[in-house]
Structure 1
Amino acid sequence: MFAKILCLTFALAAVQASGDFTVLHGPDSINFHGEEPVSQSLLKEIFTAALGYTVKLRGTWSGMSIIDPFHLPEAVVGIAVEGVNSLESPRGKRYPLNVDEGEETTWQILSGRLEKRDNMNIEVRLSLEDGVNALGHSILGELKPSAEQHSPKSLNPKNEADRKLLEEIQLLDAITKKVPSAITADDKPDVYWFVLSALGPVIDLHGADSAAAKEAYTLMNDALARLSNAFMDVYSGKVLICAFTNDGTYVRHTRDVVAENRADAENSADAVTGQSLRSTVDETTEANVNQNSTDSSDKKPRVLKSDQINISKVYDATYPVMFNIFLWFGVAFVFSLIAICITIADMDPGRDSIIYRMTSNRMKKDN
């Protein structure tokens, strides 16, 4: 009996903590505190709130507080490191991450929200797994990895896994050198998204406690530190830089089912009601993962029932205009009334004032 309980405990721990969410840098206007685990489906809400936009899913996570809403970050840099449970970063604030959706789904929903609000935002997603051939001419400009090879002590460039890791680090350094010249800070929120996938195979090949794995972690963290410093210099510190990891085996089993169901649920509800889904969509989607995985090849958009979603009230397009008119007219009217009352109360009731003329008994004698 004790063995069963112990196995169940380890299984639940593996499900609830399959990755890490590390805040490498945050501006002074945002405070990250506590150690509460966070779900990956809430990362897009965290990034949306950090940029000053209204969140859609009403999830609960008390790890972030906005201190100064008037000096929010001008950019968000997300770094997805796939295939490892933790980045073992010596810097930043770390939280356990529950990987309940794929990295690409998080990116698509986040970038879609920014496109709906303003099409002048910079939205960059680079998967370094594609290599320099695919990323040679990116939106950041032409990337030219340095000819200087890293001189690893434990990693062997002749091994394919080690070689790909060293190539990703070279690409990160090339991006770091391109950031100051290719990016100009403005008042438009920007999102930069980088996907790294070469660290996991190295850890699997050499073992988590090997000297090669420790060197791989060190090289990766040093490259991410240089990248973070480059973005901090461009945006003068007003940038949120986060890295999150996920267990590759977990993601491969759930990405196709959960991500597709989540996207179908959002798109179908938006087409019917014109509004976004709330957190209940996540619950109904995950509840139907096993049922929908059998017929995922011929999946059709699934329309949720009205009692399964929490749709907000639909307002007319002129509602913001009328709201502002009534709001500021009311504010001006109240302060004007207060000023008039104060002026009349302080008025000297002399013979030249209307108060004297309407209240004096001399007026009756003159008549």
Structure 2
Amino acid sequence: MLKNILVILSLFAAAYGSGKLTVLESPEQILFKKADKLDGKYMGHVFSACTGHSISESVPLKMRFTSPFDLAENVCLININGVKEFTPQNVKPKSEIDVYGTENSNEVFVNKLYEEDSSIVNINLDNGLETLSTMQDWCETPLKPENSKLFKSLKGEKNVVMEAAIVMSVLSEATCKMPAFLQIDCNIDSTKSRDKDLVPLFEAFETFGQKYQENSNGLGLLAIFTTVEQQTHKRSRREAGITPKFEDLNLADSYSEDYPVIFNIILWFGVLIAFSMLAICYAIATMDPGRDSIIYRMTSTRMKKDN
């Protein structure tokens, strides 16, 4: 139970600190207008609005929906810690939003998916090529790094950034079933990584975004959040491809499948008995005990006659 709670909490907090949110892919029905800044606590509200969920607060972000139908069905959030901003190489982003505040949370969005029992997946690129094995359950084609064009082009020792780029490259070339919410975490040590080392990774993210839209039938929303501030808490790791089981979180009493049927039978039978008794009492109270009634015959005394 404690493990499941930690898994959910790890999804609630996407990152801490200010940064930049780059919307790389989105459905045609969603238009992002130029915005100055966005408070990080509204990130979950933005995703909820883009997927057609109701929101309790007004989001201070200029968005326009050209149609209430065909909104985003899948959302992918890529968190890159250690990079100031995402620099697109070949794709023009839909929107670039500066995010401020001390906490950026997806709690609102994740809670709605949890209530709907939707699939939620969180992977960490820090695990390197091992990430592919945990993503295999979501993909129809085998995920092998040696089949990637990027893997073949890179020679020599591969660092964490290069392995992350290879993982994204392999996912870009595979046909996968996209969950309702996919969160990809990537931590980059800016002191060890040069700008030219990030180019293959950024290109892999762009290619993955295009493939993500294809796998989502054009109804996917992919956003990249970058921040250079260190996270102030330890995040729990979660293996991809395993949807968390929330049965242990339900503290209510367990009932059988026949409980609704039994409840309705007892409820309506009780209502029927109550109205029947009311009708009987009313009929007896308004009855006229005349000579033609059984009450008169049983209660009246007959006079004796002398012959």
Separation of aligned partners in 2, 1:150 and 1:36 = 42
Q: Is the CA contact (8 Å cut-off) linking 2:124 and 2:184 kept in structure 1?
A: yes
1:188-229 CA distance string (max 9 Å, x none): x822211111xx31x3225xxxxx41x233212210111011
Corresponding residue of 1:30: 30
What TM-score results when the alignment is normalised by the length of structure 1? 0.52
1:157/1:163 contact within 8 Å kept: no
The SS at the match of 2:146 is: coil
Q: Does 2:181 match 1:191?
A: yes
**Correspondence for 2:81:** 82
* CA distance in 2: counterparts of 1:243 and 1:232, whole angstroms: 15
Which residue number in structure 2 is paired with residue 97 of structure 1?
A: 99
Return 5+ residue gaps in structure 1 as ranges: 1-16, 207-211, 258-270, 272-367
Q: CA deviation at 1:145?
A: 1.7
Shift of 1:134: 5.1
**Alignment partner, residue 173 of structure 2:** 177
Residue 39 of structure 1: how far off its partner (Å): 2.5
Distance 1:37 1:63 in 2: 11
Structure with max Cα Rg? 2
1:183 maps to amino acid:
K
- The residue that corresponds to 2:191 in the other structure is 204
User: Alignment identity in percent?
Assistant: 17
Structure 1 residue identity aligned to 2:77: G
Distance 1:94 1:87 in 2: 9
Q: TM-score, normalised by structure 2?
A: 0.61
Q: Matches of 2:131 and 2:220 in 1, distance apart? A: 27
Post-superposition offset of 1:151: 4.4
Against the structure 1 CA distance between its residues 192 and 134, is the aligned structure 2 distance closer, same or farther, given a 3 Å change threshold? closer
Q: Give 1:48's aligned residue.
A: 48
Cα 1:192–1:157 shift into 2, 3 Å: same
Tell me how far apart the structure 2 counterparts of residues 97 and 150 of structure 1 sit (CA, whole Å).
37
> C-alpha displacement at 1:256, in angstroms?
6.2
2:223 aligns with: 242
Q: How do 1:164-313 and structure 2 match up within 5 A?
A: 164-178=160-174, 180=175, 182-183=176-177, 190-197=180-187, 200-201=188-189, 203-205=190-192, 212-213=194-195, 215-249=196-230, 251=231, 253=232, 255=233
On the 8 A contact 2:161/2:198 being kept in 1, the answer is no
Q: Deviations over 1:309-355 (max 9, x none)?
A: xxxxxxxxxxxxxxxxxxxxxxxxxxxxxxxxxxxxxxxxxxxxxxx
The whole-number CA distance in structure 1 between the counterparts of 2:129 and 2:22 is 27
Distance 1:164 1:129 in 2: 7
Structure 1, residues 140-193: CA drift from partner, whole Å, max 9, x if none? 2463223663646xxx954xxx61111011111122223x2x317xxxx82221
Q: Secondary structure at the match of 1:21?
A: strand
Q: Aligned partner of 1:224: which letter?
A: F
Which of 138, 141, 151 is the aligned partner of 1:140? Answer: 138
Counterpart Cα distance in 2 of 1:150 and 1:163 = 15
Cα displacement (A) at 1:130: 1.9
CA distance in structure 2 between the aligned counterparts of 1:134 and 1:94, rounded to whole angstroms: 28
8 A Cα contact 1:77 1:192, kept in partner? yes
Q: Which has the higher helix share?
A: 1
Q: Secondary structure at the match of 2:45?
A: helix
- Report the secondary structure of 1:73's partner residue: coil
Counterpart-to-counterpart distance in 2, 1:78 and 1:69: 23
Provide the C-alpha distance between the structure 2 equivalents of 1:111 and 1:62, rounded to a whole number of angstroms: 20
- Other structure's SS at 1:248 match: coil
Q: Which amino acid aligns with 1:219?
A: P
Unaligned runs of 5+ in 2: 1-16, 236-249, 251-307
Q: Relative contact order (alpha carbons < 8 A, sep ≥ 6): 1 or 2 greater?
A: 2
CA contact (8 A) 1:99 1:246 kept: no
